[in-house]
Each structure stands twice: as structure tokens, then as C-alpha cells.
Amino acid sequence: MKKIQISTDQAPKAIGPYAQGIAFGDLIFTSGQLPINPESGELEQGTIEEATHRTVANLQAVLAEAGSDISKILKATVYLADLSNFAAMNAVYNEYFGTTPPARTCFEVAALPLGAIIEIEAIAHK
């Protein structure tokens, strides 16, 4: 098996020396996705709800490019700039993952790139 870089213009370009995602066998590892509009390259934060929707859309785009989707996420990690946004983020997150959500870790961090309020990364299968 070899690792295959995932790249799509439907998700924001990497803002550093990393891939949007890597496929290895039947597994897909995404880099953390921020609420960046892939067309404008601008951070779209707004409310935590709006930022979560945009972040999940970016995650979906990377997974789609790799031949997967969010229903196949096995493990997600959510980084929040402010843990007081946990309940509101969870409400939006639940819209996407519903009754069979992946395993998940969520925690507050001191800061996120570009001053974002949320970042999500995932491991999925094809």
C-alpha cells in the first residue's frame, strides 16, 4: 500500500506544508478543516453554528474527493476556541451525524489558525 494525497478545490487550500487529506488503503485521514470558504479563501466564522456548517462542508468535500462521505467517519476530533460553544456546536454536529455518530474527542484550545473558532479533523473509510 502507498499513501495517496487528496486534493480538491471544493475545500480550502492548505495554509501550510500539509495535504488536505491522505488515503492509505481503505482509510482516509483528513487534515483539520476550518470554516474557510474555498472559493474566496476567506474565514467565514459568524456564529458557532455557521462556522460548524462551513467546517463540516469542507470536511465533506475532502472525503468526497477520496471516495467517501461523512457517514463513513470512524473518529473525529473537534477543536473549539471557546468550550462555551460546545452545546451549540453539538446541535449542528448532530444534524450531520445523527443516530450513528463516529467516536469523537472535543476540547478547547488556546488558539486556532487564522483566529478560527472551530476546526474538525477525521479518520474515515472508503
Task: Cite the active site residues.
Answer: 106
Cα torsion at 19, 95, 47, 86 (round to 10°)? -90
- How far is the C-alpha of 33 from the C-alpha of 119, rounded, in Å? 5
**How many whole angstroms from its chain centre is CA 53?**
10
